[in-house]
Structure 1
Amino acid sequence: MKISFLASHGGSSARAIIDAIRTDKLDAEIGVLITNNRDSNILQWCLDNDIEVHHISAKTHRGEDNADEAIQTVLRDANTDLVVCSGYMKKIGPATLRVYPYKILNIHPALLPKFGGIGMYGDHVHRAVLDAGEKESGATVHYVTDNIDEGPIIKQQIIAVDVDDTIESLRNKVQSCEAELYLSALQDILKDE
């Protein structure tokens, strides 16, 4: 199975998954990485690590629809079987979703369906969890659909929220489980293929 990636910034999950493939901890092939941010750290990391990388955005392709068409074309040309979002900060377009139904995964820094949807990313999520007085949070790997953070849940990891947690400490706890959770979800999917 060939896995490709969408990332906007550091792409820490993509890096962890690529490293797992390269060290035979995940039985898959590396496809391509697409970023919508020409200044992203992941773009340079890919160049330094011999990963095929493409910068595709509404700016490079004169609009969201053209960028969406370009993304699905690059993914198909790379013979991609599965797409992993790694901090990808754009909604996946309809052309890409049509070509890859239930083949695009995302990780969200909360226990969906709570604290998901438009505007719920990064520290906004952790602030909302703390403001709601939740006793637990975590991360969720789910399939990407047309509705943000509403796709079927694949796997979750629960972490305790302590009374003295701050946004920063909660972020660190959630981030510390994300790479392992993503790898575990991918291993489960690969077993079923």
Structure 2
Amino acid sequence: MLSRDVVSWNSIITAYWKNGYLQEANELFNSMPDRNILSWNSMIAGCVENGCLDEAFQYFKAIPQRNTESYNAMISGFVRWERVGDAGMLFQEMPRKNVISYTAMIYGYMKVGEFEKARALFDEMPLKNDVSWTVMISGYADNGLFDEARELYQRMPNKNVVAMTALITGYFNDGRVEDARTLFDGIRCKDLA
């Protein structure tokens, strides 16, 4: 006979909050006989996704043992809902940061116009990926800091179309059509057929 295990409970909880049934997810979570870190992280993600940051933070504080994903979910949630100061406090206390943690904070700082903090974090990142480079380039371009955006794009080890498009879009949004077209014309066409 089949029996419920923590995986099946977690699946139902996640399905509930993904469909907007946060109260039902909460009730099911509270009735679980056993929870694991995925159970807790799922509730944090569900609360964040449904705009209930304070409730998400209550779950975060109640976790018996937090992991990197717990921190990342909460930091990303704070950033998403423009509570960058709260995200920064969690980031500082986080024992092991990864590229997701750094990139979320960089995005948050860019979002609220704290470009120097974003750049300092970017420069201190031990490992950068294409997403972290693109977040910096896009953040600069979206805020009219094109020299900084171009400088980073030139330094980017694996240049990609997403980063270039962010820069081109920034130029267009700033009314700098000629600069955007010059960048666009510099892109090699490949495999268009």
Return the index of the structure with the highest Cα Rg: 2
Structure with the higher strand share, 1 or 2: 1
In the superposition, the TM-score normalised over structure 2's length comes to 0.30
TM normalised by structure 1 equals: 0.30
Relative to total residues, which structure has the larger helix share, 1 or 2? Answer: 2
Q: Which has the higher contact order (CA 8 A, sep 6+)?
A: 1
